[in-house]
Structure 1
Amino acid sequence: MSIIFTEVENPNNCKARPFHGTAGIVRATIDPATYDQLPFPKDYKYFSCLQPRTYVDWAERIQNFKVRSDDIWVLGFPKTGSTWIQNIVYPLKNNLDSTIFSPLNNFLEIHSILDNIDGDEEFAKFIERREKLFEELDTLPSPRLMKSHLPAYLLPKEIWTVRPKLIHMSRDVKDVAVSHYHMCRNSIFLPYKGSAHEFFHSFYNDYFVWGPYHQHVQSFRQLHHLDHLLLMTYEELSANTLASVKRLSEFLGCKYSDEDLHQLIEQASFEKMQRKLTTIPGFNPDFKFCRKGKVGGYRDEMSEEDVKNFDEWTERNKKELAIE
């Protein structure tokens, strides 16, 4: 499978860089002719994904990563709820174990987006060990709970032939952007010091790592027919958590009573994660990785102009990508 890399130019004079601390940004696309052995529809649309230049050196290793049939992969654009899902799936597969799963645990491509950045001793140690950490993913006991923010076509090839369970999360993009803004303002490897408006301007101009957002989501929605892929949204998980957890449990072949599931929901609640996920390498020590988790929280922080721009951008993408 061939990945094509091209340089990325700044569109529409975006002032917020999509990634800080690297030598530059590349656009990764797939040569469809090299993907014909996988079970993608003939009319599958391949898009492109922005990645830091450091990804180029890791892309082939990620594509050739050995997948196990009993793996569980939590997938989705950053800040769509993957950490919440991880902390629901882990107890489902481990007899309701109340261990809180860190957002950096078993994160497939974390090693490919890191650069040597001063200022955080613990994070510097993490970077130094990234080669070993990637190799250690192969030695994790089964079933592994893996995580990735990559679009479908950049995931390990064996995901589509070995067919492990896949859970993809999506979320209102305005909430994603606001959550991402706060994360980057408190991140050592994604540091951002500009205004919220400039940050959002880059986001809805598709000048953002792991983006464009709508194309990322559509890369999975085109595969909705696959029985080992479960598509979920942050909004449905928030609105009816018990029904969503039951759906997850059934998808993973787990059997628990409603009482058990209520216990799981309590131990994986946003408030519990917020209290326990307090110190994460690469972030300011006072930053709450689980910040608010509120559906529609963008209304408290986004200007009317930015809301309008996001909505118009979303509508254009829905028409172009045939998103319902």
Structure 2
Amino acid sequence: MALPFPYEIKDVTEEEDKVIKKYYKQYTRPFIRIGPHGYILNAGYADHASEIYNFEVRPDDVWVTTFSRSGTTWLQELVWLVANNLDFETATKDSITKRFAYIEYTTLNLEIHGDQELSPNAPRATFEDFRSLPKSPSPRFIKSHLPLSLLPPKLLDTTKVFYIARDPRDVAVSFYFAHKLFRYFDDNVQLKEYWDLFQKDLILHTPIFPHVVEAWEKREHPNLMFLFYEDMQNDLRAVIDKVCKFLNKEYTEEQKQQLVDYLDFKNMKKTPMTDNKKEGEGEVTFFRKGKSGNWVQYFDSEMMREAEEYMEKNLKLTDMRYPVVKK
């Protein structure tokens, strides 16, 4: 018996929809807010919210869940390699989009592209989603940018789940350039405009703080590993040890050092992490800087003041604090 989807789904206000569609131009139906936190998604998600919520989780699944641009791909690669006996050959040959399913991705695009097949050479964010995964062989590696509350309610009690969080100011900058890379936003949209939308929770998947705090509050669950992007930057080797223990895998010191080297940001940029064959140089690329605290290079004085107020207002509602990155 399918469980009823437990949260209210309602259209954003007419004014909000007008503002959102000034930027997200390809969507036709009103954008929606979901649940008490009012997570922003497109109408295509509402069509399949119950299917994703009722998705059957397997005990040998491995999930990576994050707010977008929080170190998702970096963590996916680490998790996949640890779980798959450090199979660097396959990791170098096959993109992460082939090795990890992006469970809700098609709900972002069904409204734009319908069910039409992508050409074989088109860049893909995933080769599997909630529709095909039930028939996929185990073990399945699954990624989601949905908050935990919108994922299957038995997820944590059934399988291993990773969640990674990153300073929202760095997320905002990275997500801004991703919006241009994936053609959500026109090239002429300025960061200041984007930052205004981000603060007002008018960007896909926002608000970011409730998204992160949902996972933070479950960090003691034995099947959840909560990580910070900043900790991976500060001491990747220590994070590798934690992931190995969490997945019940043992490797030699030499093997772990090999993994550290492979996951170095410069090396990651050279391997086919994504199926986007048009990767280039500059800001509008899938892998940009890979540095925490880099947001200060993009914010003017007014944006910095706003960011300080934004962080203070939201952090006072939780005991979670983002780690300081070692210089």
**1:69-115 C-alpha deviation (Å, 9 max, x unpaired):** 11111111000001001101111111111115425740111011113
Cα pair 2:23 2:184 within 8 Å, conserved: no
Aligned residue pairs total: 303
- Distance (Å, rounded) in 2 between the aligned partners of 1:15 and 1:302: 22
Cα pair 2:20 2:202 within 8 Å, conserved: no
Alignment of 1:16-31 (within 5 A): 19-23=24-28, 24-29=30-35
- Distance (Å, rounded) in 2 between the aligned partners of 1:112 and 1:179: 22
Aligned residue type for 1:76: T
Aligned residue for 1:135, secondary structure, equals coil
What is the TM-score of this pair, normalised by structure 1?
A: 0.84
Give how far 1:294 is off.
1.0
What is the TM-score of this pair, normalised by structure 2?
A: 0.83
1:299 aligns with 2:296: yes
Cα pair 2:209 2:314 within 8 Å, conserved: yes
Give how far 1:225 is off.
2.4
Aligned residue type for 1:266: D
Residue from 4, 12, 20 that aligns with 1:8: 12
Stretch deviating more after TM superposition (213-222 or 285-294)? 285-294
User: What residue number does 2:96 align with?
Assistant: 102
1:225 aligns with 2:202: no
Aligned residue for 1:253, secondary structure, equals coil
Aligned residue for 2:101, secondary structure, equals coil
Residue from 311, 315, 320 that aligns with 1:314: 311
1:69 aligns with 2:65: no
Give how far 1:280 is off.
3.5
1:150 aligns with 2:146: yes
User: What residue number does 1:159 align with?
Assistant: 155
User: Could you say what the CA RMSD is over the residues aligned between the two structures, in angstroms?
Assistant: 2.9
Stretch deviating more after TM superposition (251-260 or 301-310)? 301-310
Give how far 1:189 is off.
4.7
1:205 aligns with 2:209: no
**1:226-282 C-alpha deviation (Å, 9 max, x unpaired):** 11111100000011010011111111111011110111122232222212238645x
- Distance (Å, rounded) in 1 between the aligned partners of 2:271 and 2:51: 33
Aligned residue type for 1:145: F
User: What residue number does 1:41 align with?
Assistant: none
**1:179-230 C-alpha deviation (Å, 9 max, x unpaired):** 0111111213565641110001110111111110011101111212211111
Structure 1: give runs of 5+ residues left out of the alignment: 30-45
Cα pair 1:74 1:86 within 8 Å, conserved: yes
Cα pair distance change 1:90/1:280, threshold 3 Å: same
Cα pair distance change 1:22/1:16, threshold 3 Å: closer
User: What residue number does 1:248 align with?
Assistant: 243
**1:115-171 C-alpha deviation (Å, 9 max, x unpaired):** 3259x96499789x98x8543222333222111011111012230442x11111000
Cα pair 2:53 2:153 within 8 Å, conserved: yes
Identity of aligned residues (%): 26
Aligned residue for 1:216, secondary structure, equals helix
Stretch deviating more after TM superposition (203-212 or 134-143)? 134-143
Cα pair 2:20 2:203 within 8 Å, conserved: no
Aligned residue for 1:276, secondary structure, equals coil
Aligned residue for 1:194, secondary structure, equals coil
- Distance (Å, rounded) in 1 between the aligned partners of 2:256 and 2:197: 40
User: What residue number does 2:70 align with?
Assistant: 80
Structure 2: give runs of 5+ residues left out of the alignment: 322-327
Cα pair distance change 1:254/1:211, threshold 3 Å: same
User: What residue number does 1:136 align with?
Assistant: 132
Cα pair distance change 1:268/1:323, threshold 3 Å: closer
**1:13-45 C-alpha deviation (Å, 9 max, x unpaired):** 96785744222310011xxxxxxxxxxxxxxxx
User: What residue number does 2:325 align with?
Assistant: none
- Distance (Å, rounded) in 2 between the aligned partners of 1:17 and 1:156: 33
- Distance (Å, rounded) in 2 between the aligned partners of 1:109 and 1:316: 30
Cα pair 2:66 2:145 within 8 Å, conserved: yes
